Amino acid sequence: MNESPEKVNTPLDPDLMYADLEKKIRAAGHSMDLGRIRAAYDMAKRAHEGQLRKDGSPYVTHCVAAADISVDLGLDEDSICAALLHDVIEDTALTHADIAHSFGSAVADIVEGVTKLTRVQYTSKEDEQMENLRKMLMAMAKDIRVILIKIADRLHNMRTMDYQTPDKQRTKSLETMEIYAPIAHRLGMQQAKWELEDLSLRYLDPAGYKEITDYLNSRMADLEGFMSSVDEKIQTRLESEGIQASIFSRIKHVYSIYRKMYAQKLDINGIFDLCAFRVIVDSLPDCYNVLGVIHDMFKPVPGRFKDYISTPKPNMYQSLHTTVIGSEGIPFEVQIRTWEMHHTAEYGIAAHWKYKMDGGGSAVREGDEEKFAWVRHLLEDQQESDAQDFFHDLKIDMFADEVFVFSPKGDVINLPAGATPIDFAYNIHSDVGNHMVGAKVNGRIVTFDYALQNGDIVEIRTSKSAPGPSRDWLNIVKSGSARTKIKQWYKKERREENILRGMEMLEDELRHNDLDLDDMQDEAIMAPVLKRLSYATADDMYAAIGYGGVTAVRVANRMRDEQKALLAEKKSVLDKVSAAAERREERARKEGKAVHGILVEGLDNCLVKFSRCCTPVPGDEIIGFITRGQGVSIHRKDCQNYRRRKADDASEGRWIKVTWASQITDSYVTTITIAAKDRSGLVMDIATVLNSLNAKVRNLSARDNSGLALVVITLEVQGSAELRQIMNKLAAVPSVTEVSRNGTRG
């Protein structure tokens, strides 16, 4: 109970509350022994006699309220009895044996399980939080009803939190937000989760909570009118289509609006989709029929459709979600589900609760054991571990989309799944992240890309002389806030570095598209690009690329578009240039005879070989080198050997002009190198791409270099166009970072 007695003048009547509880059980049609439930109430009332809550009511009123919530959750008779008795072992003289004697071991075990969640005293907040969560998981593994009753207990305590001190209000609300609401979410109990979050927010950020509720109250008439109108339109249309459906509308809950405001940095006036509609039908096919009708009636918002029926969430949730825009221009969400899905969505694992007793007397949910078997798997062989070892060794698969870890002081920090120590540091404060030089997890030094696990204790090492965040961190962090803060630091601190890096990144991107940055700096291309992207100067644009304000891909695409437009304007000039080139080739053709597709200026039928250092193919710009006794060696003009040797006095006079013949039928051997992050299946994926292109591969070799895979491929192609196609396809293979031709690095 953990509440000191305090009398006030407005006590509740527990007998009246219990009478209402019995009425609710009868109205729900549950087949329960009301005499047995009454006996549990009488035992609880006697045991708690003289104990009062903060509002002056008899303490047993809290027990009846927890039982009432348990009925709402659809729990069974044993659960209702246990809810009525859930505090007697902790706060009265009654024992496990007393309860077992009167109501059986199942009820006694549940009550003892609930008691153990809050009974032990700890020397530190850290130990308390770790051990509490560990015990909750262990209790869930033994009998899921323990945590369901604990959630009912916490929900009623939050509903009556007004009578507590401000300090206790905040402490309990934070614990509820960080532990109980996420557990309710993982169990699929959306109604309980929403109410726990809203009640917690009321005490954690009273001003924010009041701002939202005041705004909703001020607009309630308009919102209700809008919802009524949309409700009627949908109902009329579905009836005309012969679809039987029940339609419900609601205002989104306060914490959902609050979270969206802060996630998107909006004020309350910037939140438009405040309303949500739920269409409940009798059959699965009708769900998709209704979806078609909704999309015909209203304009769907791209990217806002989710099919959780074909792919249920880990907490068993199933529904179709779509966001549409009505004729008023107001977006709203529509959820479509069957009644069975609806019960599961509202109450999760507590929905349709039926038990059968197995041979050992333990409670087993009929047909649904595997839906919460994940809890048991988490705790296999862990019951004897202490709290620290438990969190060090156990990989808690509690939530599919988030992870929560502890600071050294025991504060709980929620982060996205896969988050790293860098995310943790920036969650604490921007300065902590910017001055981070190392991290420890559970007392051990870890790398910056270590994926944090639920329950990890994270310690960040900082230094005033730290150089600041590395750009590589942008590829490591999982949280948007951390990524934003890193970009902000670079934007502010490293403009010159950003400009240089941005130019390099843009140059690389352009090169992948066979474009050149020097060409793109033509005023006729650069001026319209800067205008379309809203940058005053080219340096501003390069700096933005450098710190991540705009992607090099976007800028390159803009430049390519402008270049195409410019080329269209200059088509006549290019035609003349092309014609002149054709005339030059014609003269070369007359002067000599092609060998292996190569025309050598001034020589006829000379020996020709292709250099192995750069392996040129038709389409490449080429140059010839007169060798001693071995004819002319053909190099690409971007070959590192050519660039290095062309100014060499010893080579003077030996470089000769060569061209490709106009008609080429041969294939040419060339070599490319792929750099990639090493992973399983990489070579197989590369081979699959090559096979799909019918590439003629002569040789393929791969080696690992400290986590970097280098794959060297020798293949035959008919020209540079075919080679570019192959290289572009290989560059799209997952984890590939670069595809390059041999001979261009120097």
- Sorted by sequence, the CB contacts under 8 Å of residue 571 that are 6+ apart come out as none
Q: How far is CA 702 from CA 626, 642, 672, 673, 695, in A?
A: 34, 28, 12, 10, 18
Tokens of 318: 């199933």
Here the tokens at position 68 are 């009432």
Task: With beta carbons less than 8 A apart as the criterion, state whether 519 and 527 touch.
Answer: no
Nearest one of 196, 44, 182 to 111, comparing CA atoms: 44
CA 645, CA 76: separation in Å to the nearest integer? 87
Burial category of 147 from C-beta neighbours within 10 Å (exposed 0-12, middle 13-18, buried 19 and up): buried
Catalytic residue among 55, 72, 91, 340: 91
Measure the CA–CA gap between 65 and 157, rounded to whole angstroms.
Answer: 10
Pairing of strands 668-677, 608-610: unpaired
Closest to 192 in 3D by CA, of 325, 334, 345: 345
* Tokens found for residue 720: 């540079």
Task: Transcribe 490-510 into DSSP letters.
Answer: HHHH-HHHHHHHHHHHHHHHH
Rg (CA), the chain: 35
Contact call for residues 663 and 723 (beta carbons, < 8 A): no
- Report the amino acid identity of residue 355: Y
What are the distances in angstroms from CA 36 to CA 84, 100, 140? 11, 13, 25
CB 352 within 8 A of CB 343: yes
Q: Which residues pair with 363 in a beta bridge?
A: 357
User: What tokens does 327 get?
Assistant: 């004729």
Q: Which residues pair with 337 in a beta bridge?
A: 280
Give the Cα separation of 684 and 291 in Å (integer): 41
Q: Is 282 a catalytic residue?
A: no
User: Is 91 considered catalytic here?
Assistant: yes
Helix (H, G, I), strand (E, B) or coil at 276: strand
CB atoms within 10 A of CB 159: 13
Residue that has been written with the tokens 């895979």 in this structure: 709
Measured in residues, the chain has a length of: 746
Active-site annotation holder among 22, 90, 273, 497: 90
List residues with catalytic annotation.
Answer: 90-91
